[in-house]
Amino acid sequence: MDNVERRSGISLWRQIADQIRIAISNGEFDGNNMLPGEIALAKRFSVNRHTVRSAIASLTQEGVVRVEQGRGTFIERRERLQYPIGRRTRFSEGLAGKIGPRDRHLKNHTLQPAPAFVSTALQLAPGAPVVQLETVNTADDQLVSRAISWFDGERFSDFADRYVEYGSITAIFKSYGIDDYIRVSTRISAHHADSTTLEDLQLSPGAIMLRTEAINADMNGRPVEYSHSYFAADRIELDIDHGTALRA
Amino acid sequence: MDNVERRSGISLWRQIADQIRIAISNGEFDGNNMLPGEIALAKRFSVNRHTVRSAIASLTQEGVVRVEQGRGTFIERRERLQYPIGRRTRFSEGLAGKIGPRDRHLKNHTLQPAPAFVSTALQLAPGAPVVQLETVNTADDQLVSRAISWFDGERFSDFADRYVEYGSITAIFKSYGIDDYIRVSTRISAHHADSTTLEDLQLSPGAIMLRTEAINADMNGRPVEYSHSYFAADRIELDIDHGTALRA
DNA sequence: TTTATTTGTCTATTTATCTAGACAACTAGA
DNA sequence: TCTAGTTGTCTAGATAAATAGACAAATAAA
């Protein structure tokens, strides 16, 4: 008998949708690949059947379940995509058994004086010029993240032009003579999605985003890229590799 | 002019509280350390003043702001605690400039046959005995996470007893002759908090949790600990160290 | 003291969410 | 074909959230 809380600022149907989504990803309904009936769910959460129907309507919208009149509610999507992050995190590389082919769409780019938090991260003088790229990213043909990246504007002045030419960040760095680079640090937090992220990733309000704040450096330890990424938390989990891969 | 969405399943006051919390941690109100007046905020979010008051009441409850009649609303807590995760992640170690003193409270422990996902992670035979610890963890005297950890029941049969004696996991491993161990992998996802986490961390419904799934191994690469941790996302961010610390 | 600005409290009304029940439409199996 | 079990749709009413306005109480500065 699961609990939902009233007067919490989250509507009952939304709390129930959240709990069903978690139950699905925990494999709770693996047996016949369907949810219990609406009446059974209403009893389980101690709410009216119509409230459960609202929750299921929301999950249908997300593509998590599919409803068939007279038959029941079937589970469509069970797991989150695994997004690898490590010393050598490369956006364009695929990993066996993990996330599939990825694509980046460039929303816009600017050359501008660095805000304080950017110049600090890239170890530049305050107000030094930086190239800023905004992208929307897909994996396995699903929208998974948006990102804002900054690069030293002196060192990489025509970065955006080369983006069109080369396609991948790794290739652009190569063209600047940087054969290799490593992820130095990643800071991860979770929030309710802001309006830009809701729009870019086609999420519904109240959705959760995973935010990463990352620094990449060249082999001399000089920072070359600073970025903020926002992932749709219901589609992605981050898989951190600390250097010695053992996991299956 | 920020946006709030109606009919989203998240009440307006809650959306506004979320946005103010984010704005605070972005340093938006750093100048005089206070929020704008209720009327200004109501205009900013295009809602009634009473709706803003509900949002502020919620933030007061959380300890994020403090209200004084006739004066205004003052910011009490600005940042999330930074929780470091790296190859040598140790719960009990403090890091300068980061999170402060931490404490673990043991909720319960059992010795039981391993569920499939545990025996796989620890590379044990299916159904082999494992020690399971459930803890609730604080940092800087704030509730920040709960965790479930599993250890090989053959190798560490009296692990729970030694927990009482030694206090720290590192010390217990030492007592078993394991002088060092490293974090092999960490998987990170974000969800709405489940009922156990809500209760253990004293969160309100709809709160977000960061979930980590981690494996630690001894220096031979043999897994010694598998754990699930659930962090209060509004109190914590995870700081991943990939091996070469440059960040200030 | 006066004034402008702030938060606190109250009443009333509108809108959205949740409950309750009845019955239709569809499916699968007896 | 019949029946039990499922989802779909409708009406009505109760409860909660949000709006609107008026005025009190506290503060700070003129």
B95 touches chain A (CB under 8 A): no
CA–CA dist B114, B169 (Å, integer): 20
Name the phi and psi angles at B226, rounded to 5.
-125, 135
B159 and B209 in contact (C-beta within 8 Å)? Answer: no
Kindly state whether B134 is in contact with chain A, defined as any CB-CB distance less than 8 angstroms.
no
A205:B245 CB<8 A: no
Q: Would the Cβ of A18 be found within 7 angstroms of any atom in strand D?
A: no
Report the alpha-carbon distance of residue A20 to residue A15 in Å, rounded.
Answer: 9
DSSP letter for each residue of B16-53: HHHHHHHHHHTTTTTTTSBPPPHHHHHHHHTS-HHHHH
Paired with B138 in beta bridges are B103, B143
Strand D–CB B5 distance below 7 A:
no
Which pLDDT score is estimated for B94?
46
Cβ atoms within 10 Å, residue A98: 13
Nearest residue of chain A to residue B205 (CA atoms): A8
Which regions of chain B carry the CATH code 1.10.10.10? 12-75
Mean pLDDT taken over chain A: 88
* Cβ–Cβ gap B242/A185 under 8 Å: yes
Those residues of chain B that have pLDDT short of 70 are: 1, 89-99, 205-206, 243-248
* A240:B85 CB<8 A: yes
Report how far Cα A238 is from the mean position of its chain's Cα atoms.
Answer: 8
| CA B43 to C1' C15, whole Å | 20
B12-75 folds as Arc Repressor Mutant, subunit A (1.10.10)
For B242, which DSSP code?
Answer: -
Q: Is B116's Cβ below 8 Å from some Cβ in A?
A: no
Element (H, E) at A229: strand A223-232
For A81-240, CATH gives 3.40.1410.10
Query: What is the pLDDT, as a whole number, of residue A135?
Result: 96
CB A46, CB A4: distance < 8 Å: yes
Alpha-carbon span A54 to A22, nearest angstrom? 17
- B11 CB and strand D closer than 7 A: yes
Among B25, B19, B247, B238, CA closest to B139: B238
Virtual CA dihedral for A148, A153, A157, A162, nearest 10 degrees? -20
* CA distance linking residue B51 with residue B57, whole number of Å: 10
> What's the pLDDT at B90?
64
CA atom of B45 to C1′ atom of D9, Å: 36
Report the nucleotide nearest the CA of residue A37, measured to C1'.
Answer: D6
User: CB of A67 under 7 A from strand D?
Assistant: yes
Rounded average pLDDT per 10-residue block, chain A, 248 residues: 82 91 84 95 96 95 93 90 80 54 89 91 95 93 92 93 88 92 91 85 82 93 95 91 54
Among B222, B230, B231, CA closest to B121: B222
Return residue ranges of chain B for CATH 3.40.1410.10. 81-240
Contact (CB<8Å) A246/B14: no
Question: Residue A204: closest CA among chain B residues belongs to which residue?
Answer: B8
Chain A residues within 8 A of B248 when measuring between CB atoms: 120
Q: What is the DSSP string of B195-217?
A: HHHHHHTTPPTT-EEEEEEEEEE
The residue of chain B nearest to residue A226, with distances taken between CA atoms, is B247
Q: Is B106 on the interface with A (CB under 8 A)?
A: no
| Residue A141, CB, strand D, below 7 Å | no
Interatomic CA distance for residues B168 and A208, integer angstroms? 34
Q: Which residues contact B142 (CB under 8 A, 6 or more apart)?
A: B81, B235
162-201 of A, contacting B, C-beta below 8 A: 182-192, 194-195
Q: Which residue has the tokens 């992220």?
A: A197
